[in-house]
Amino acid sequence: MAEAHTAGTAAGKLVIRNIGLLLSGDLARPILDADAIMAIDGRIAAIGKAQDLDAEGARTVIDAKGTALAPGLIDSHVHPVFGDWTPRQSQLNWIDSFLHGGVTTMISAGEVHLPGRPRDVVGVKALAITAQRSFEAFRPGGVKVHAGAPVIEKGMVEEDFREMAAAGVKLLGEVGLGGVKTGEEAKRMVAWARKHGIQSTIHTGGPSIPGSGLIDKDVVLEADADVIGHINGGHTALPLDQIRCLCEQCKRAIEIVHNGNEKAALYALRTAGELGELERVILGTDSPAGSGVQPLGILRMIAMLSSLGEVPAEQAFCFATGNTARLRKLDSGLIEIGRAADFTLLDKAQHSAGKGLLDSVRLGDLPGVGMVVIDGVVRIGRSRNTPPAERVAEVVGQ
């Protein structure tokens, strides 16, 4: 069984020193001139040079051994069900495996794989509230899973959204996976959701599985959800001219997923770059799915977009951290005082041709994860899933 952890109330003071490269998650300034971080009770309290930080009384001291530290990666698009189990490919401990891919936060795009998922309005609401409660209380390996994302169905009224919001629901699952398929109907419900503080995502592109439908650019534009979910299709992408149109006309988040069309992913990235709006780009895996479960999916996206999309690696990390945190209103994802102390420590993989971490990613290699910290608590050491990192951070004092 995966271990459940609650928030980092037992974290105390954490000091990480000898950081070789500090990735901030902020596109405007992706690399910070600092080699140490201090966190107190799970929150970043200081960022700077080791000699300037007050390490006195630290409960945990980590020697990063000159490796890179990035904010914990955020997967903006997953489909959890309950616990650390997915019926989609009958896998156990898939969330824990993502932790070994550097992921510390996941956002549900709907608990659509629940066997016998209810489609009636009261059932939809009950499932959303139950999933929100369940993942709030159960964190596989410490990973923060924001779940409870109802998929809208015909017949829902504003009171349903008010009621769910009051009960703690903060997300809508992918619009289009339920009975609501037209732009007009979706627009009304997305607006009710937004009015009550619930963020929305829309499925973009061809159907995912038999029985789901096409959502084209006109529906996406009319619905005006907060996130253009998998703009590169999940799996089938819209024609590239429609993707351009969405980037240009819909000013919402541009979500690119692993389980989508890679050519369309690169096209969306390039279009966002041409518009000077890379801060809209966020990454997800859209797993579990027919393509399986990808514990390294976010790292693979970073390497793919950096190498083939010709984006500096330090910027590609921002797509999976700070951009997502800002657009999703999360308290993690950026190396800033007051933010959650969620960190992924990485180094270039052994025998990569790259000169260092960033160069190796730019060449298309996956980095090796050496340690993951969530809420100021060390959750894992060397990853069991990434290729081995050349150097690995070490806990030197506890």
**Interface ranges with Zn ion (CB under 5 A):** 174, 203, 234
Residue 128 beta carbon to Zn ion: minimum distance, rounded to whole angstroms: 17
Residue 176 beta carbon to Zn ion: minimum distance, rounded to whole angstroms: 7
Residue 322 beta carbon to Zn ion: minimum distance, rounded to whole angstroms: 24
How many Å apart are CA 175 and CA 223, to the nearest integer?
9
- Which residue number, 13 or 328, has a Cβ lying nearer to Zn ion? 328
DSSP labels, 134-177: HHHH--BTT-EEE---PPP-TT--HHHHHHHHHTT--B-PPBTS
- Which residue number, 174 or 347, has a Cβ lying nearer to Zn ion? 174
Residue 234 beta carbon to Zn ion: minimum distance, rounded to whole angstroms: 4
- Which residue number, 174 or 226, has a Cβ lying nearer to Zn ion? 174
Measuring CA to CA, how many Å separate 70 from each of 75, 103, 120, 127, 138? 14, 11, 42, 34, 25
Residue 247 beta carbon to Zn ion: minimum distance, rounded to whole angstroms: 18
Residue carrying structure tokens 């240009």: 248
Token couple for 64? 């990063």
- Which residue number, 37 or 257, has a Cβ lying nearer to Zn ion? 257
Token couple for 313? 């690696």
User: 94 near 130, Cβ under 8 Å?
Assistant: no
Residue 327 beta carbon to Zn ion: minimum distance, rounded to whole angstroms: 18
Smallest CA-to-CA distance from 337 within 48, 107, 12 is with: 48
- Which residue number, 142 or 260, has a Cβ lying nearer to Zn ion? 260
Residue 230 beta carbon to Zn ion: minimum distance, rounded to whole angstroms: 6
DSSP H or E stretch at residue 99: helix 94-99
- Which residue number, 22 or 131, has a Cβ lying nearer to Zn ion? 131
User: 208 near 180, Cβ under 8 Å?
Assistant: no
- Which residue number, 131 or 220, has a Cβ lying nearer to Zn ion? 220
Angle 176-178-182 (CA atoms, 0-180°, nearest 5)?
45
Smallest CA-to-CA distance from 340 within 80, 184, 57, 144 is with: 144
